[in-house]
Amino acid sequence: MKSIIIIAGPTAAGKTAKAIEVAQHFNTAVISADSRQCYREISIGTAKPSPQELSTVPHYFINSHAIQEEVNAGLYEKLALEYAAEIWKTNDVAVMCGGTGLYIKAFCEGIDNIPATPPAIRLSIQERFEKEGMAWLQQEVQEKDPAFYANAEIQNPHRLMRALEVLYATGQSITTYRTGNTTKRDFQIVKTAVTLPKEQLHDNIARRVHLMVAQGLLEEVRAVLPYRNHNALQTVGYKEVFDYLDGKISWEEAVEQIIIHTRQYAKRQLTWFRKDTSFQWFEAGHGLLDSVVKKLSK
């Protein structure tokens, strides 16, 4: 039976190291489930695995796309299934590692076919959000798509902006495209997640952000300025530096905001993965490999 071991969890919890350990044990490859590490142009702000880590075991969906390309959960489902099939030609076990919950869900269960929206609509919503902030975004969705808003992650700007995009482009609520059907996969899925005590996770995040700064985050963001309205850059670590480059905040404020916003993002990731009770949680990854080996040997 073909199997995939999923290693999920919040940012800075130690997923990459654990995925490499598991992949080495099974002599297999890792499929990334991170919506930003696929872009070649952004490495520091996305906390991509190091060249050494990438050379330890084969990795898929890292440095696979140019930043101008539109990558979404629907495309990820298709690509990840292809990657897995390729790995399974020579090995019964594959590893998937990442913190983008929607991508993991799409791979495991399939995803509804929600229409693509014109870039101009996306851009106008992003610009409005940048000017008027979260309060405007929440109010706009609440007024225009109450069905979606009633059950939405209302602190997640990406979900809210996506709902508006679909509404503006089609005149329909995004909920009308959601069938709720799940696709049955013909392979075994073992879901694990790595976490840390809150204080330790927060310390890791702060350390990681300061390391990004030392590695040249500012220079990386300057290099992608021409693409600043691209979806991949509407995220933590890039928006704050754009604000600094626009003269809205000081460098110290930008760094502090990246730390705060990354902690908030980690909290949203934990909430997302904990909603799926089929995940087995491992603090700092202790016992994860043993547990997976036992499961697969049954």
Known binding-site positions for substrate: 11-16
Question: Residues annotated as binding site for ATP?
Answer: 9-16
Region for residue 257 given its phi and psi (left: phi exceeds 0; alpha: psi -120 to 50; beta: otherwise): alpha
Query: Residue 104 half-sphere exposure, CB side, CA atoms within 13 Å?
Result: 27
Residues 261/171, Cβ–Cβ less than 8 Å = no
Residue 240: strand pairing partners = none
Q: How many residues does the chain have?
A: 298
Instruction: Detail the residues annotated as belonging to a binding site.
Output: 9-16
The neighbouring-strand residues paired with 97 are: 7, 32
Of the candidates 63, 116, 117, 99, the one whose C-alpha atom is nearest the C-alpha of residue 236 is: 99
Q: Are 19 and 32 in contact (CB under 8 A)?
A: no
